Structure 1
Amino acid sequence: MSNGGWVGTWRPHRPRGPVMAQYSSPGPKYYIQGATGYVSHIPTKRKAPAYSMCGAKPPLSKDCPPGPYDVPGYMTHRGRKSAPAYTMAGRPRVRVEITPGPASYSPEKSRRMIYKTAPAHSMSFRTRSAKVDTTPGPNAYMIPGVLGPHTVATSASPCYSMIGKSKLGRFDEDLHKTPGPAAYEKPATEIYKKRAPKYTMAGRNMNPRRDKIPGPADYVVGKVSMIKSCAPVVTFGIRHSDYTAPLIVDVC
């Protein structure tokens, strides 16, 4: 706004910066950056440290300990220290450029370039002319079939399909759909008759070895409640309702 007259008790002045009310944008909320994460973080907010979660390192193998290191003799704790060393090599090969001599040129072939000559023509074979007739021949067409139901230019005759005889209405058709004698299983006679006793034949039992005597580890010494008194043992059961009727037994 430009400096104008007085509006009430104050005079309008030019704003120092852009005022969002003067623009038709959605508002300042679309320009506020996020405060979570580290990508495009708002600079006015404090950023917390971020840590990365990774898996545990595999255990080091005990079978492959680090062995002695191969340290060269010229290496010290301050770096490499050795006498100057020189390398002996062969003399470099000098490449001599071979320039063409006078015999390498053919001045007699330059007459047509310098002097005027008669036109020279080359005799060659006649070029093959382009094929003008590009129409298809009689063998390029295919006459549609006139047999069967799928004809194009002619009317098709009625077609019939031959199938086998249907099982409906045959002499062996089961109209009642009842199961036959082979559909039932033969029950065991023990269901409707008295079952005879059955015996099982087994091998002869082996006599127990007399040298097998139980040792001290075969006994449970801690469980002595059979011969001595023990503290009372309380078990927790379910809670019964107060409205459950007690057991009433008729006493005659």
Structure 2
Amino acid sequence: MRAMSSAEAWVGSWRPHKPRGPIAALYGSPGPKYALPGLTGISKHDPTKYKAPMFSFGIRHDQANSNCSPGPRYLIPSNITRGGRDGTPAFSLHSRPKEPALFQAPGPGKYSPEKSGNLIFHAAPAYSLAGRSKEISNSQTPGPASYSLPPVLGPKTVATAAAPTYSLCGRSKNGSFHEDLKKTPGPAAYKVVDPCTYSQKPPQYSMTGRNFTPGETTKKPGPGAHYPEQVTFTRPKAPSFSFGLRHSEFISPLIVDAPE
């Protein structure tokens, strides 16, 4: 065989053949780049495939909320049918409403176009000689003199700080102690401060009498009020006899020997 093809170059034993599987270089599409929907779970399941039932580990509720309607909660009027209100006449006790009045539109004479210039163009100031209305004279508003501001001078200021004020008046001697020294305060006019206020307080004793507890003021029986010799509960007692009971006058007497 080498002798037959000695003039051709040796290219090896490999020759082109049909590929066994798809090769990405032979196709212009991206290939299996986009994944198909999954067949497991509930999220993004393939809608074209059958989905098997799934069970959860949740607890069973006491009452299933199968009915979500409000029930007979709303009261439907009896005159409402499936086709709307019934055609029976309804009467009320209200009065008949008045007919609405016709709207009377203003005519051409109601407008004054000649007076519209002041609203569109600039107008000069106009003054009138009309008298003062009576309403102004009735309103009695206070003038500037009706208000009084607080003083700012002297010791009786309200809004500002007052500086110390001094007077040039002398001390009057009429009626003072300069004329009569008896008017001067004596030692009894001053109150002496108790030493216990600013120093240690000593013990204090009182001279009051001894107090007794209040007792009972009722009269008690003395020794002569008792009779021990008449006590028969603790010693033997001699028999005592009585003269019988007093019978009633209406009882018949007992007759033993009746005459024959």
Short-chain TM bin: under 0.3
Question: TM-score, structure 1 length as denominator?
Answer: 0.22
Higher RCO, 1 or 2 (CA under 8 Å, sep at least 6)?
Answer: 1
- Structure (1 or 2) with the larger CA radius of gyration: 2
Question: TM-score, structure 2 length as denominator?
Answer: 0.22
